[in-house]
Chains A and B, each alone.
Chain A
Amino acid sequence: MLLQNKVCIVTGATRGIGLAIARFFAAQGAWVFVNGRDSQRVNDVVAELQSAGGRADAFVCDVADPNSVKLAYKEFLTKSKTIDVLVNNAGILDDALIGMVTPAQIERTFSINTYAVLYMSQYAARIMAKAKSGSIINLTSIIGTNGNSGQAVYGGSKAAVIGITKSLAKELAASHIRVNAIAPGFIDTDMARSIPPAVFDTRVASVAMKRIGTPEEIAGVAAFLGSDLSAYVTGQIIGVDGGMLI
Protein backbone atom coordinates (compact mmCIF):
# COMPACT_ATOMS: atom_id res chain seq x y z
CA MET A 1 0.00 0.00 0.00
CA LEU A 2 1.19 3.49 -0.85
CA LEU A 3 0.76 5.05 2.58
CA GLN A 4 1.23 2.13 4.96
CA ASN A 5 1.43 3.42 8.57
CA LYS A 6 1.90 7.03 7.47
CA VAL A 7 0.33 9.56 9.82
CA CYS A 8 -1.73 11.96 7.72
CA ILE A 9 -3.83 15.02 8.56
CA VAL A 10 -6.42 16.03 5.98
CA THR A 11 -8.18 19.37 6.47
CA GLY A 12 -11.73 19.88 5.31
CA ALA A 13 -12.12 16.13 5.20
CA THR A 14 -15.84 15.76 5.91
CA ARG A 15 -16.92 16.23 2.30
CA GLY A 16 -15.83 16.78 -1.28
CA ILE A 17 -12.20 16.38 -2.25
CA GLY A 18 -11.03 16.19 1.38
CA LEU A 19 -13.36 13.28 2.11
CA ALA A 20 -12.19 11.44 -1.01
CA ILE A 21 -8.57 11.96 0.06
CA ALA A 22 -9.30 10.73 3.60
CA ARG A 23 -11.01 7.60 2.26
CA PHE A 24 -8.25 6.82 -0.25
CA PHE A 25 -5.47 7.48 2.24
CA ALA A 26 -7.10 5.17 4.79
CA ALA A 27 -7.53 2.50 2.11
CA GLN A 28 -3.82 2.86 1.34
CA GLY A 29 -2.87 2.06 4.92
CA ALA A 30 -2.55 5.57 6.38
CA TRP A 31 -3.56 6.62 9.89
CA VAL A 32 -5.84 9.47 8.90
CA PHE A 33 -6.62 12.43 11.14
CA VAL A 34 -9.89 13.83 9.85
CA ASN A 35 -10.27 17.59 10.16
CA GLY A 36 -13.43 19.61 10.19
CA ARG A 37 -15.10 22.21 12.38
CA ASP A 38 -18.19 20.15 13.17
CA SER A 39 -17.20 17.37 15.59
CA GLN A 40 -20.27 15.29 14.77
CA ARG A 41 -19.49 15.26 11.05
CA VAL A 42 -15.83 14.57 11.76
CA ASN A 43 -16.72 11.66 14.03
CA ASP A 44 -19.07 10.28 11.37
CA VAL A 45 -16.21 10.22 8.85
CA VAL A 46 -13.83 8.70 11.41
CA ALA A 47 -16.40 5.97 12.11
CA GLU A 48 -16.88 5.34 8.39
CA LEU A 49 -13.14 4.96 7.80
CA GLN A 50 -12.78 2.67 10.80
CA SER A 51 -15.71 0.49 9.78
CA ALA A 52 -14.06 0.09 6.38
CA GLY A 53 -11.01 -1.32 8.16
CA GLY A 54 -8.97 1.87 8.21
CA ARG A 55 -7.27 3.71 11.04
CA ALA A 56 -8.68 7.17 11.74
CA ASP A 57 -8.95 9.81 14.43
CA ALA A 58 -10.57 13.21 14.76
CA PHE A 59 -8.71 16.51 14.33
CA VAL A 60 -11.47 18.98 15.12
CA CYS A 61 -10.67 22.67 14.70
CA ASP A 62 -11.38 25.78 12.70
CA VAL A 63 -8.29 25.93 10.48
CA ALA A 64 -8.82 29.66 9.99
CA ASP A 65 -8.43 30.29 13.72
CA PRO A 66 -4.78 30.06 14.88
CA ASN A 67 -5.74 29.34 18.48
CA SER A 68 -8.09 26.58 17.44
CA VAL A 69 -5.31 25.08 15.27
CA LYS A 70 -2.86 25.22 18.17
CA LEU A 71 -5.23 23.41 20.51
CA ALA A 72 -5.94 20.75 17.90
CA TYR A 73 -2.22 20.08 17.44
CA LYS A 74 -1.79 19.79 21.22
CA GLU A 75 -4.55 17.18 21.26
CA PHE A 76 -3.01 15.49 18.21
CA LEU A 77 0.37 15.21 19.95
CA THR A 78 -1.20 13.15 22.72
CA LYS A 79 -2.00 10.55 20.04
CA SER A 80 0.98 10.79 17.68
CA LYS A 81 4.41 12.40 17.92
CA THR A 82 4.93 12.36 14.17
CA ILE A 83 3.23 13.59 11.00
CA ASP A 84 4.15 12.15 7.63
CA VAL A 85 1.63 13.98 5.46
CA LEU A 86 -0.41 17.16 5.85
CA VAL A 87 -3.06 17.85 3.22
CA ASN A 88 -4.24 21.47 3.36
CA ASN A 89 -7.52 20.98 1.56
CA ALA A 90 -10.11 23.06 3.44
CA GLY A 91 -11.47 25.84 1.28
CA ILE A 92 -14.48 27.89 0.32
CA LEU A 93 -15.75 29.37 -2.92
CA ASP A 94 -17.63 32.68 -2.77
CA ASP A 95 -17.74 34.38 -6.15
CA ALA A 96 -18.60 38.01 -6.84
CA LEU A 97 -17.77 40.65 -9.42
CA ILE A 98 -15.13 42.98 -8.08
CA GLY A 99 -17.55 45.87 -7.59
CA MET A 100 -19.66 43.71 -5.28
CA VAL A 101 -16.93 42.10 -3.19
CA THR A 102 -17.23 42.88 0.53
CA PRO A 103 -14.36 43.19 3.00
CA ALA A 104 -15.93 40.41 5.06
CA GLN A 105 -15.93 38.13 2.00
CA ILE A 106 -12.25 38.85 1.34
CA GLU A 107 -11.33 38.22 4.98
CA ARG A 108 -13.31 34.98 5.23
CA THR A 109 -12.03 33.57 1.92
CA PHE A 110 -8.40 34.35 2.61
CA SER A 111 -8.72 33.14 6.22
CA ILE A 112 -9.88 29.69 5.17
CA ASN A 113 -8.17 29.27 1.79
CA THR A 114 -4.84 30.92 2.54
CA TYR A 115 -4.10 31.83 6.17
CA ALA A 116 -5.13 28.35 7.28
CA VAL A 117 -2.46 26.81 5.05
CA LEU A 118 0.15 28.82 6.97
CA TYR A 119 -1.32 28.07 10.41
CA MET A 120 -1.53 24.34 9.74
CA SER A 121 1.88 24.13 8.04
CA GLN A 122 3.58 26.04 10.85
CA TYR A 123 3.02 23.30 13.41
CA ALA A 124 3.29 20.41 10.96
CA ALA A 125 6.67 21.64 9.71
CA ARG A 126 8.01 21.79 13.26
CA ILE A 127 6.88 18.25 13.99
CA MET A 128 8.08 16.92 10.62
CA ALA A 129 11.46 18.64 10.99
CA LYS A 130 12.21 16.57 14.09
CA ALA A 131 11.87 13.40 12.00
CA LYS A 132 13.60 15.06 9.02
CA SER A 133 10.82 13.77 6.80
CA GLY A 134 7.38 14.79 5.62
CA SER A 135 5.13 15.87 2.80
CA ILE A 136 2.85 18.89 2.76
CA ILE A 137 0.22 18.93 0.03
CA ASN A 138 -1.69 22.14 -0.59
CA LEU A 139 -4.87 22.37 -2.63
CA THR A 140 -4.77 25.35 -4.95
CA SER A 141 -6.96 25.65 -8.06
CA ILE A 142 -6.86 26.25 -11.79
CA ILE A 143 -8.41 29.60 -10.86
CA GLY A 144 -5.27 30.33 -8.84
CA THR A 145 -2.99 29.53 -11.78
CA ASN A 146 -5.11 31.04 -14.59
CA GLY A 147 -7.61 33.43 -12.98
CA ASN A 148 -11.26 33.80 -13.94
CA SER A 149 -13.91 36.49 -14.21
CA GLY A 150 -15.84 36.95 -10.98
CA GLN A 151 -13.24 35.08 -8.98
CA ALA A 152 -10.70 37.73 -7.99
CA VAL A 153 -11.03 36.86 -4.32
CA TYR A 154 -11.01 33.08 -4.70
CA GLY A 155 -8.32 33.24 -7.40
CA GLY A 156 -6.18 35.52 -5.25
CA SER A 157 -6.53 33.27 -2.24
CA LYS A 158 -5.53 30.23 -4.31
CA ALA A 159 -2.68 32.01 -6.14
CA ALA A 160 -1.28 32.86 -2.72
CA VAL A 161 -1.24 29.15 -1.92
CA ILE A 162 1.13 28.66 -4.87
CA GLY A 163 3.51 31.26 -3.43
CA ILE A 164 3.32 29.59 -0.04
CA THR A 165 3.98 26.18 -1.59
CA LYS A 166 7.03 27.26 -3.56
CA SER A 167 8.47 29.23 -0.64
CA LEU A 168 7.95 26.47 1.90
CA ALA A 169 9.43 23.93 -0.52
CA LYS A 170 12.64 25.95 -0.53
CA GLU A 171 12.64 26.65 3.20
CA LEU A 172 11.90 23.10 4.30
CA ALA A 173 13.92 21.11 1.75
CA ALA A 174 16.91 21.03 4.12
CA SER A 175 14.67 19.25 6.63
CA HIS A 176 13.64 16.75 3.94
CA ILE A 177 10.08 18.04 3.99
CA ARG A 178 8.53 18.18 0.54
CA VAL A 179 5.86 20.76 -0.28
CA ASN A 180 3.71 20.51 -3.38
CA ALA A 181 0.33 21.70 -4.56
CA ILE A 182 -2.47 20.22 -6.58
CA ALA A 183 -4.41 22.55 -8.86
CA PRO A 184 -7.76 20.87 -9.55
CA GLY A 185 -9.83 21.95 -12.51
CA PHE A 186 -13.58 21.37 -12.52
CA ILE A 187 -14.26 18.66 -9.94
CA ASP A 188 -17.60 17.13 -9.00
CA THR A 189 -18.18 18.43 -5.46
CA ASP A 190 -20.86 20.42 -3.66
CA MET A 191 -18.73 23.46 -4.47
CA ALA A 192 -18.93 22.80 -8.23
CA ARG A 193 -22.62 21.95 -8.03
CA SER A 194 -23.33 25.27 -6.31
CA ILE A 195 -22.89 27.25 -9.53
CA PRO A 196 -25.82 27.97 -11.92
CA PRO A 197 -26.58 25.14 -14.45
CA ALA A 198 -25.66 27.26 -17.47
CA VAL A 199 -22.27 28.08 -15.97
CA PHE A 200 -21.83 24.41 -15.05
CA ASP A 201 -22.35 23.39 -18.70
CA THR A 202 -19.94 26.05 -19.93
CA ARG A 203 -17.31 24.81 -17.50
CA VAL A 204 -17.66 21.19 -18.65
CA ALA A 205 -17.41 22.34 -22.27
CA SER A 206 -14.11 24.04 -21.44
CA VAL A 207 -12.57 20.73 -20.36
CA ALA A 208 -10.67 18.97 -23.17
CA MET A 209 -11.80 15.59 -21.83
CA LYS A 210 -15.42 16.87 -21.92
CA ARG A 211 -16.33 15.68 -18.45
CA ILE A 212 -16.15 16.89 -14.90
CA GLY A 213 -13.38 15.37 -12.77
CA THR A 214 -14.00 13.24 -9.70
CA PRO A 215 -12.71 13.84 -6.16
CA GLU A 216 -11.11 10.39 -6.36
CA GLU A 217 -8.96 11.58 -9.25
CA ILE A 218 -7.56 14.29 -7.00
CA ALA A 219 -7.09 11.78 -4.18
CA GLY A 220 -4.90 9.61 -6.41
CA VAL A 221 -2.49 12.46 -7.08
CA ALA A 222 -2.51 13.40 -3.39
CA ALA A 223 -1.56 9.81 -2.51
CA PHE A 224 1.30 9.97 -5.01
CA LEU A 225 2.56 13.22 -3.45
CA GLY A 226 2.18 11.81 0.05
CA SER A 227 3.97 8.58 -0.78
CA ASP A 228 7.62 7.75 -1.31
CA LEU A 229 6.93 7.49 -5.05
CA SER A 230 7.37 11.27 -5.15
CA ALA A 231 10.44 11.32 -2.88
CA TYR A 232 12.32 13.75 -5.18
CA VAL A 233 9.34 15.99 -6.04
CA THR A 234 9.03 19.33 -4.28
CA GLY A 235 7.85 22.86 -5.07
CA GLN A 236 5.59 21.62 -7.87
CA ILE A 237 2.07 22.66 -8.80
CA ILE A 238 0.36 19.68 -10.41
CA GLY A 239 -2.71 20.43 -12.49
CA VAL A 240 -5.44 17.78 -12.32
CA ASP A 241 -7.94 19.25 -14.74
CA GLY A 242 -8.58 16.99 -17.73
CA GLY A 243 -7.03 19.61 -20.01
CA MET A 244 -9.35 22.40 -18.91
CA LEU A 245 -8.96 25.75 -20.62
CA ILE A 246 -9.95 28.85 -18.70
Chain B
Amino acid sequence: MSQATLIKCFAESLGIPAEQVTDELQYNTIPQWDSVAHMTLIAALEDAFEIMLDTDDIIDMSSVAKAKEILARYEVSF
Protein backbone atom coordinates (compact mmCIF):
# COMPACT_ATOMS: atom_id res chain seq x y z
CA MET B 1 0.00 0.00 0.00
CA SER B 2 2.73 2.44 1.05
CA GLN B 3 4.87 1.36 -1.90
CA ALA B 4 2.04 2.09 -4.34
CA THR B 5 1.37 5.44 -2.69
CA LEU B 6 5.04 6.35 -2.82
CA ILE B 7 5.28 5.51 -6.52
CA LYS B 8 2.13 7.49 -7.24
CA CYS B 9 3.55 10.52 -5.40
CA PHE B 10 6.81 10.37 -7.33
CA ALA B 11 5.17 9.75 -10.70
CA GLU B 12 2.61 12.54 -10.35
CA SER B 13 4.95 15.08 -8.76
CA LEU B 14 7.77 14.56 -11.24
CA GLY B 15 5.54 13.87 -14.23
CA ILE B 16 7.19 10.56 -15.07
CA PRO B 17 5.82 7.04 -15.74
CA ALA B 18 5.41 4.86 -12.64
CA GLU B 19 7.84 2.33 -14.14
CA GLN B 20 10.58 4.94 -13.92
CA VAL B 21 10.16 5.19 -10.12
CA THR B 22 12.77 2.71 -8.95
CA ASP B 23 14.95 2.72 -5.83
CA GLU B 24 17.90 3.80 -7.98
CA LEU B 25 16.24 6.97 -9.29
CA GLN B 26 18.21 9.96 -7.94
CA TYR B 27 17.52 13.65 -7.45
CA ASN B 28 18.78 15.92 -10.23
CA THR B 29 19.68 13.03 -12.54
CA ILE B 30 16.61 13.56 -14.72
CA PRO B 31 15.30 16.99 -15.83
CA GLN B 32 11.92 16.31 -14.19
CA TRP B 33 13.36 15.94 -10.66
CA ASP B 34 14.66 19.44 -10.07
CA SER B 35 14.37 21.55 -6.92
CA VAL B 36 10.90 22.87 -7.78
CA ALA B 37 9.56 19.37 -8.45
CA HIS B 38 11.28 18.21 -5.27
CA MET B 39 9.19 20.59 -3.16
CA THR B 40 6.05 19.44 -5.00
CA LEU B 41 7.06 15.86 -4.21
CA ILE B 42 7.59 16.73 -0.54
CA ALA B 43 4.11 18.26 -0.34
CA ALA B 44 2.62 15.15 -2.00
CA LEU B 45 4.39 12.80 0.40
CA GLU B 46 3.36 14.88 3.41
CA ASP B 47 -0.26 14.84 2.29
CA ALA B 48 -0.30 11.16 1.36
CA PHE B 49 1.32 9.93 4.58
CA GLU B 50 -0.02 12.71 6.86
CA ILE B 51 3.40 13.71 8.15
CA MET B 52 5.54 16.86 8.33
CA LEU B 53 9.06 16.28 7.12
CA ASP B 54 11.99 17.98 8.81
CA THR B 55 14.05 20.33 6.67
CA ASP B 56 17.09 18.05 7.00
CA ASP B 57 15.08 15.14 5.65
CA ILE B 58 13.87 17.20 2.68
CA ILE B 59 17.46 17.98 1.81
CA ASP B 60 18.60 14.39 2.38
CA MET B 61 15.90 12.84 0.19
CA SER B 62 18.27 12.27 -2.71
CA SER B 63 16.78 9.07 -4.18
CA VAL B 64 13.71 6.88 -4.07
CA ALA B 65 15.56 4.44 -1.81
CA LYS B 66 16.52 7.30 0.50
CA ALA B 67 12.91 8.49 0.53
CA LYS B 68 11.81 5.08 1.81
CA GLU B 69 14.51 5.12 4.46
CA ILE B 70 13.47 8.59 5.63
CA LEU B 71 9.74 7.81 5.55
CA ALA B 72 10.36 4.71 7.66
CA ARG B 73 11.49 7.07 10.45
CA TYR B 74 8.03 8.64 10.25
CA GLU B 75 6.46 5.22 10.84
CA VAL B 76 5.70 4.56 7.19
CA SER B 77 6.48 0.93 6.41
CA PHE B 78 7.30 -0.55 3.01
Contacts and interface: CB of A to CB of B under 8 A. Distances in A.
Contacts of A77: 52
A129 B13 CA distance: 14
B52 A74 contact: yes
A77 B42 CA distance: 16
Interface string B26-52: 000000000000010011001100001
B71 to A, nearest CB: 16
Contacts of B47: 130
Contacts of A130: 43, 46-47
Interface in A99-148: 122-123, 126, 129-130
Contact of A70 (B39, B46, B54): B54
A122 B44 CA distance: 17
A122 B55 contact: yes
Contact of B39 (A73, A123, A126): A126
Interface in A52-93: 66, 70, 73-74, 77
B52 A129 contact: no
B74 to A, nearest CB: 12
Nearest to A67: B54
B43 A73 contact: no
14 contacts: A66-B55, A70-B54, A70-B55, A73-B52, A74-B52, A77-B52, A122-B55, A123-B52, A126-B42, A126-B43, A126-B46, A129-B43, A130-B43, A130-B46
